[in-house]
Structure 1
Amino acid sequence: MADRCDTKGAEEAATVQGTEEKVLPKLTPAEFRVYNRLAEHMDYFHNHFRHSWNELYEACCNNRRPSGVSIRQFLNMGTDFLSQLNFHHSIEEQSIFPILAKKMPEFKREVHLLKQHKEIHKGMDRMEDYLMDCKSGEKELRLDEMKKVMDSFGKVLWDHLEDEVKTLGAENMRKYWSPDEMRRLPM
């Protein structure tokens, strides 16, 4: 009985605020796991990108490579980060997003998440050019310059890592997909 009262109150509050969004019942822990699976999986990959970014960025901020890491190894760390992020985005754009876009407007072309990809890739291209110039000897590695390049796309990258996981979270996914459909989604 109390749950019905809480739901009714929430429905009235939503109507008063003008959102008129349907209030969904509370998820059981098992339902939450089903609906949150993609978010958890995505966050696992994103945590790897956060760690790699932080390692590179910290070196730039300290104007010092990590202890025991040669210039060549550091440049490879940067190009590996870019390669893995590019591969991750390619999989998303070619295999995951088109399926999700069938029901979810957030994953359609030229919408927020894909616009973020474009902005991130502009910065990634600049970073790759810089790192390749350093690898070829055309430029000398200057961590303050590399930091400027990373700063040019860092905010949109970090926002994207959060936005994507939030969009794939249980409360959003349940608006579009049944539990059976969730179990069949790739990833």
Structure 2
Amino acid sequence: MAGKKNDSPAGFGDELPKLSPSEFRTYNRMAEQMDAFHNHFRLAWNQLLDACDATGKRGLSARQMIMTGLQFCSQLDFHHSIEEQHIFPVLARKMPEFRKELELLSQHKQIHAGLEKLEAYLEKCRSGEEDMRREEVKRLMEAFGEVLWTHLDQEVKTLGADNMRKYWSEKEMRALPM
């Protein structure tokens, strides 16, 4: 449809031609892989948050909450480190969304500020320095929950076929890390 403007976040010119199923798979590969990683974090987050409100046998024990929370923090930190060191720099060569001063990396910083506080609290609980209080875990999680969930969704959308094809050829897509 020549002349029709694309409503994409990147806002580039005319609408692109329809992708074949094979082309779509190639261009959407990173989004699908990232969504699988992010689903793991969504499930862990929900498990922890549910346990904050659970009473009795419905929820995790205090020890399980501490260990699950510490594992969540460690895994998300590791995931973001890989992105920042190995994936985002490659994508940033052509995609402004992955440059340091823009939103996705800014979100990482906000998420990590929250993760650090949650991890510090859970470490104090694990060592016995503090008693684990579910309402405190919930408060710490909610402080960065909105930016985390926005980030998980936005990053996958940014890596989706409709956006990736604006910047990369099919051959280049196959060579991208991940």
Q: TM-score, normalised by structure 2?
A: 0.92
SS in 2 for 1:175: coil
Structure 1 residue identity aligned to 2:17 = P
Query: CA–CA distance in 2 between the matches of 1:138 and 1:75?
Result: 13
Query: CA–CA distance in 2 between the matches of 1:33 and 1:78?
Result: 34
1:47 to 39, 49, 55: 39
1:65–1:74: 8 Å Cα contact kept in structure 2?
Answer: no
Verify: 1:32 aligned to 2:19, yes or no. Answer: no
Verify: 1:147 aligned to 2:138, yes or no. Answer: yes
2:67 to 67, 76, 89: 76
- RMSD of aligned Cα (Å): 1.6
Show CA shifts across 1:101-137 (max 9, x none): 0000000012100000000000001100110111111
Any unmatched runs of 5+ in structure 1?
1-6
Question: How far has the Cα of 1:138 moved from its partner?
Answer: 1.5
2:30–2:160: 8 Å Cα contact kept in structure 1?
Answer: yes
* Residue range with higher mean Cα deviation, 20-29 or 101-110: 20-29
2:51–2:65: 8 Å Cα contact kept in structure 1?
Answer: no
Query: CA–CA distance in 2 between the matches of 1:158 and 1:63?
Result: 25
Q: Which residue does the alignment assign to 1:98?
A: 89
- Tell me which structure has the larger Cα radius of gyration: 1
Query: CA–CA distance in 2 between the matches of 1:160 and 1:87?
Result: 16
Structure 2 residue identity aligned to 1:159 = T
Change (3 A) 1:174 1:144: same
* Residue range with higher mean Cα deviation, 176-185 or 70-79: 70-79
Give me the identity figure in percent. 57
SS in 2 for 1:26: coil
Verify: 1:138 aligned to 2:129, yes or no. Answer: yes
Query: CA–CA distance in 2 between the matches of 1:102 and 1:144?
Result: 43
Any unmatched runs of 5+ in structure 2?
none
State the 4+ residue runs in structure 1 displaced beyond 6 angstroms: none
Question: How far has the Cα of 1:73 moved from its partner?
Answer: 2.4
Query: CA–CA distance in 2 between the matches of 1:81 and 1:40?
Result: 21
